[in-house]
Amino acid sequence: MQEAVSAHAELEHERDYVAGLYQRLDELRAEKQQQLDRVRSGGAVGTMQNISERDAFATMYEDRLAQLNAVDDRLVFGRLDLDSGESRYIGRIGLSTADLQRLMVDWRAPEAGVFYQATAFERQGVRRRRHLILKGREVKAVEDDVLDASMLDSDNLQGEGALLAALNSKRTGQMSDIVGTIQAEQDRIIRSPMPGVLVVQGGPGTGKTAVALHRAAYLLYMHRERLKSAGVLLVGPSNSFMKYIERVLPSLGETGVVMSTLGKLMPGISAVPESNQAVAELKGRASMAKVVARAVANRQRIPAGPRKLNVEGTILTLTPKQVIRARDRARSTGKPHNEARTTFVKILLRELTEQLTQALEESSGPGNNADRSYLTEDVRTSRDVRVALNLCWMPLTPEQLIGELLSKPAHLEGATPQLSDAERALLLRDPSAPWTEADVPLLDEAAELLGPMDVSSARDKSQREHQRARDVANAEQSLVNLDEALKASGIDGLVSAEDLAAHNQIQETRFTAAERAASDRTWAFGHIVVDEAQELSAMQWRLLMRRCPLKSFTVVGDIAQTSSAAGAHSWQQVLEPFAQDRWRLEELTVNYRTPSQIAEAAVRMANAAGLVVSAPKAVRDGNWEPIIDKVDDGGLLGKLLEVMPEELDALDGGLLAVIAPDHRVEEARKALAAVYGSRVGAGAGGLDQDITVIGPKEAKGLEFDGVVLLEPAELLDGVSGKVGDLYVAMTRPTQRLRLLAEGDIPPGIEG
């Protein structure tokens, strides 16, 4: 009885304290909203500097409000009782009273580290670690880890296991953070120093992605000034994966990270996956950097013989020797193609102008001292001269260079002497085909070698003038509304369309570092996090290393899960060309997601297929062994529809994924949609779409309560199939795995 009373009192105490924390959170939200409203009510008036300052303050208040709104769910999750007698609450952000009395410590702060690191053998001054389990804003339960043996007889101890409760909770289609249940092994990696390349190797279910996201949040907290200006880039394997993780960082108090797939790292390009693995492997080779360099050099051409040019009726001669001399001088500047072209053009314009001057002086006779300064312009604007110089050294965009390289056999042959005819045939593409993820590093390499287009041309000047005219026209229309707003505010003043257009340019400068970085190919990030990094090709690594000259990376993945033909065989092979010895390896050894029965079956299958995989220890047993159903020929979809009610009933509202070889995904989705309608979706699924149908590559990084896997042998035997595809697919469920097959079941799965 005494125990029950004590437990109730402890719960009520925590509820009162947490209610106070939420009250303070609401006060801060109201304060920032009032500050934002005051700034906005100032209106778009005053000098351009005043307007810019107002916008900067508005952005600051908006960012702080976004942070305060994002941390509402499970705001606080822990309490430390220390030897000193202090109780320290741990939460998503730090909170203090108006007079700066600390109420809650940010989980990333050094003094919060012991919440994750302390053990009974190394208490680090901690007597008790308490987990607070919230639903909404109310504390529903508490769980105590007692580290000081003298407290073991206390009546105030509570708990049934926060970690296992989190692991057994149903999936929602959105990744949840693990900030309240980070384990010591994970915490050590999260708080590892920022410099250099940190590789986090871990098998399925070890929390690699969670560690990567929490590390990004931790580094932003600890290195705020550096990373606020330079930014953090997080690269993931697919759009489904990015959607799956998109809420995690905001829930940890961070909203300024650039999140992107590799296919979107070239501004203006949204690439599709490369469907042909042989093509992906070719385009991913490190040697393709030399191919692009040759393609650029081949566009700096020497004419076969002298070329006659008509300049205002005078015939000039452009010789190969002149072009070679100008080309070599331009190349010696070390500038990119488009910038070096300026040197090339200046040299030849000067020589042609001298030729024209000499010809005119000879034709006019001795003693003629007429001003001939206009001749330079005559040469520069001559159509013959412009055509000739462009044929020798044309300004190019990356899309032009790579598009023509991969669609014109002569261009490709000239840049790839090391490739066979069969390999060149693989690389050739239809000019109208969309760019693929394997093309993006080639485009990026081209952009680096080409440099920006020459903006001094008459055409570009004309385009800028037209754009300026459009801006002013838009601003004039805006002035109609602005004038009424000024009068309504009692303000009498004149604002020109030009002023308003200039103001719009100032507005662009108030974007955050993350927003600016996302649209700037040359942006140098302060840190880059790469998930599913084992899939990246050498050329994709080259692109990423260019984005972070300091080589500060967090790289997470599992070599055993590599499914791309262009992917990694070892971390050393991948990283040493770029980072030499400035990389270190950490390994996660505990499988938190996958029940032991499923994890062991996946490892047996991989080993039987000749793949050596690490086998992280599963922390729990599941309720079911993997279920295997052999199906008669032609009966696969019928069997799928037959077992669906059983699977959905077993998961009791959980999220079910049907993972199939890519060529079977669409027919499986249609068959299920005919029965279950809008409940059937794609990607990571969700609360309204508790059935998702996807291929193994799209499943990377995702997790589901249950998985029905169709034709597992096809994931090994297909054109692009690798052991990693099947290994990934088998290790996605947190509860239940079922395999359906008309063909053979790969060895090892059945034990």
Instruction: Note the Cα 462 to chain centre separation in Å.
Output: 36
Indicate the burial class of 502 (C-beta count within 10 angstroms; 0-12, 13-18, 19 or more).
middle
Pairing of strands 314-318, 307-311: antiparallel
Q: DSSP 3-state assignment of 346?
A: helix
Q: Which of 352, 359, 406, 361 is nearest to 382 (CA)?
A: 352
Q: Which amino acid is at 195?
A: P
Q: Using an 8 Å Cβ cutoff, are 481 and 575 in contact?
A: no
- Helix pair angle (538-547, 571-579), 10° resolution: 40
- Residue 334 known to bind ligand: no
| CA distance linking residue 522 with residue 507, whole number of Å | 21
What are the structure tokens assigned to 75, written together?
A: 């705001």
Residue type, 322: Q
- Considering only CA atoms, which of 693, 691, 718 is closest in space to residue 705? 691
Alpha carbon of 54 to those of 45, 66, 70, 126, 503: distances in Å?
A: 10, 18, 24, 46, 12
Gap between the Cα atoms of 213 and 107, Å rounded: 14
Ligand-binding annotation for 159, yes or no, is no
Residue 208, annotated as binding a ligand: yes
Q: Give me the residue label for tokens 């570092």.
A: 513
The response to whether 255 counts as a known ligand-binding position is: no
- Separation of alpha carbons 436 and 149, rounded Å: 60
CA separation, residue 325 to residues 317, 331, 341, 345, 391 (Å): 15, 10, 13, 12, 16
DSSP class of residue 272 equals: B
User: Which residues share a beta bridge with 704?
Assistant: 733
Half-sphere exposure of 411 (CA within 13 A, CB side): 19
**How far is residue 218's CA from residue 254's CA, in Å, rounded to a whole number?**
9
Is 207 one of the annotated binding-site residues?
A: yes
Give the separation between CA 199 and CA 531, rounded to whole angstroms: 10
- Tell whether residue 206 is among the known ligand binding residues: yes
Residue 408 in marked binding region = no
- Per the annotation, does 172 bind a ligand? no
* Numbered residues of the known binding site: 202-209
* Numbered residues of the known binding site for ATP: 202-209
